[in-house]
Structure 1
Amino acid sequence: MDKVEYKNFYDKVGKLNGWDFSKLQVVSEGEQWDFYSEVTQRCKKSDLLLDIGTGGGEKLLAFTDSAILLVGIDHTNGMIQTANANLQKAMKQNVRFLLMDAEKIEFPSSFFNVVSCRHSSFYAKEVAKVLKKDGVFLTQQVSDNDKFNIKQAFGRGQQFRPEQGTLKEKYLSELAEAGFTDIQSFEYDATEYYKTYEDLVFLLKYTPIVPNFGEFDNDFRILQKFIEENQTEQGIQTNSKRFMIIAKR
């Protein structure tokens, strides 16, 4: 998918589901951190927090007590519509969701104490612009060859390439160029077990792991064969590969 195709995809998913995968029956072994726990540990009650690529706001709404004001931005109407619907249900007064592109963050300079970004693109210079001195930026991203056996089965996939660490090194370099200090990176490759065929279909339908999943005639045949070859007692096995970067302004 190119940039326009990704935006259209996320807009469609945003209207249908937001970024809510809580219904999935999946067990993970080997995760080394919970991203939003890492974020909340670095927040004070008096802080202002910006969440880039907030999706349907599901994660942000789960820790509203961590900061005085939490702002989630996303670049698609569909996600922001779902986020505001979720906000209305949650009845939280200190959260705002805004349609905004990460390439141009329209807030005053040095406005936020903490900026987070999970599984979404960010631009280091824009983050640096709106982050206060001594503020902290945290991001978790999908690593190269996440869900590797699924992508092998389909012969296509998000970041499906032999080079390892390409995206992480790109972000580390950009953060350093933008003036961030004390830049730390972490990575894990956990094992995941999905309980049912339906769980995998939901995952592939609402993520770009396998671009345009279901639009090719043999996609479901490939998926069925994949399940047969990767079925274990714990469930259908794949991997979850992630990296996290924490940097100070």
Structure 2
Amino acid sequence: MNYDAQFLFYLEHMNRQFSGWDFSYIEKTGRMQEEPLDWSYGSIVLSYMNKANAMLDMGTGGGELLSMLGPFPQDPCATEGYAPNVPIAKARLEPLGIQVEQVFADDELPFADGRFDLVINRHESYSVREVRRILRDSGIFLTQQVGGTDCREINERLGVPLNDEFQHWNLDFAVKELEANGFKIIKKREQAPMQRFYDIGALVYYLKAIEWQAVGFRIEDHKEALYGIHKEIKTRGFWETTQQRFLIVASPV
């Protein structure tokens, strides 16, 4: 197939090193945009931080979000499981007095029982039992999650199945799991916002960063499908997918 020069340029232009979970390369330039949620994770976190003495941010990535939420409680900690992110998070957070720990399994967190009165989690997997172990009896667990059918249109267009491991993951399942493990639900919300890509390079950049969306993704294997999306963007101005997001605030019974 003969691809137009603009398509080939975008594929080359996205060939840039990715670090942390910082999407500013495509978000701040307007190449990818997400429909706003009906809630603000950061605002809700802050509403609980001012009452906390010890807090944990699970899956801090490169510490991008947490670093902007100060001032912090007396005992702030963060975990990260993706090895390349750990030095980035340490460099960003430790000067702020935040202890950063690398973790290797959701059910083996390196903290004492009942250490935290606030545990926050944005788009990170977790073990309910382990969260309960490290949380004080009066503590708060606050999580925003990505559902198992997130951006399913990408998979449909590329002919790549959604990851079977996560398709069950939604608000209802997460709530039932928490309740079965000694939590009461204080707040719960779910939404399906749209996410738009304004050039094919932005979509490819996204897929290379979010490796679990289309496992084993390679440009060479999906070039015709990508070119079809590129042509739609040229006609419509954007190509969009449907996200799946949910929020839970819970506390031990």
- Give the TM-score normalised by structure 2: 0.80
Quote the residue 1:114 is aligned against.
Answer: 118
User: What amino acid does structure 1 have at the position aligned with 2:221?
Assistant: N
Deviation at 1:247, TM superposition (A): 0.5
Judge conservation of contact 1:193–1:234 (CA < 8 Å) in 2: no
The answer to whether residue 239 in structure 2 is matched with residue 236 in structure 1 is yes
Which of these residues, 21, 24, 40, is aligned with residue 23 of structure 2?
A: 21
Q: 1:159 to 1:167 in 2, by over 3 A?
A: farther
Deviation at 1:150, TM superposition (A): 1.0
User: What amino acid does structure 1 have at the position aligned with 2:60?
Assistant: T
Deviation at 1:66, TM superposition (A): 4.1
Deviation at 1:183, TM superposition (A): 4.8
User: What amino acid does structure 2 have at the position aligned with 1:68?
Assistant: Q
Give, in whole Å, the separation in 1 of the partners of 2:101 and 2:115: 16
Trace 1:52-201 onto structure 2 (pairs within 5 A).
Answer: 52-87=58-93, 91-92=95-96, 94-100=97-103, 101-159=105-163, 166-201=169-204
Q: 1:73 to 1:225 in 2, by over 3 A?
A: same
Judge conservation of contact 2:194–2:241 (CA < 8 Å) in 1: yes
Between 230-239 and 59-68, report the one with greater CA deviation: 230-239
Give per-residue Cα distances to partners, 1:183-238, cap 9 Å, x unaligned: 542111111222222211111110021112216x3323212212323567563222
Judge conservation of contact 2:106–2:130 (CA < 8 Å) in 1: yes
Q: Unaligned regions of 5+ residues in structure 1, if any?
A: 1-14
Give, in whole Å, the separation in 2 of the partners of 1:34 and 1:148: 24
User: What amino acid does structure 2 have at the position aligned with 1:95?
Assistant: I
Judge conservation of contact 2:57–2:78 (CA < 8 Å) in 1: yes
User: What amino acid does structure 1 have at the position aligned with 2:155?
Assistant: K
Give, in whole Å, the separation in 1 of the partners of 2:172 and 2:163: 14
Give, in whole Å, the separation in 2 of the partners of 1:30 and 1:18: 22
Judge conservation of contact 1:194–1:236 (CA < 8 Å) in 2: yes
Give, in whole Å, the separation in 1 of the partners of 2:22 and 2:101: 18
Deviation at 1:105, TM superposition (A): 1.4
Quote the residue 1:48 is aligned against.
Answer: 54
Q: 1:45 to 1:102 in 2, by over 3 A?
A: same
Deviation at 1:239, TM superposition (A): 2.1
Counting matched residue pairs gives 230
Give, in whole Å, the separation in 1 of the partners of 2:88 and 2:214: 24
Quote the residue 1:7 is aligned against.
Answer: none
Give per-residue Cα distances to partners, 1:94-115, cap 9 Å, x unaligned: 2121112321112111111111
Give, in whole Å, the separation in 2 of the partners of 1:21 and 1:159: 22
Give per-residue Cα distances to partners, 1:52-108, cap 9 Å, x unaligned: 1121111111112142332111223222122113336xx31x212111232111211
Judge conservation of contact 2:199–2:233 (CA < 8 Å) in 1: no
User: What amino acid does structure 1 have at the position aligned with 2:200?
Assistant: Y
Larger radius of gyration: 2
Q: 1:127 to 1:189 in 2, by over 3 A?
A: same
Q: Percent identity?
A: 27
User: What amino acid does structure 2 have at the position aligned with 1:42?
Assistant: Y
- Give the TM-score normalised by structure 1: 0.81
Q: 1:178 to 1:18 in 2, by over 3 A?
A: same
Q: 1:85 to 1:224 in 2, by over 3 A?
A: farther
3-state DSSP of counterpart to 1:65:
coil
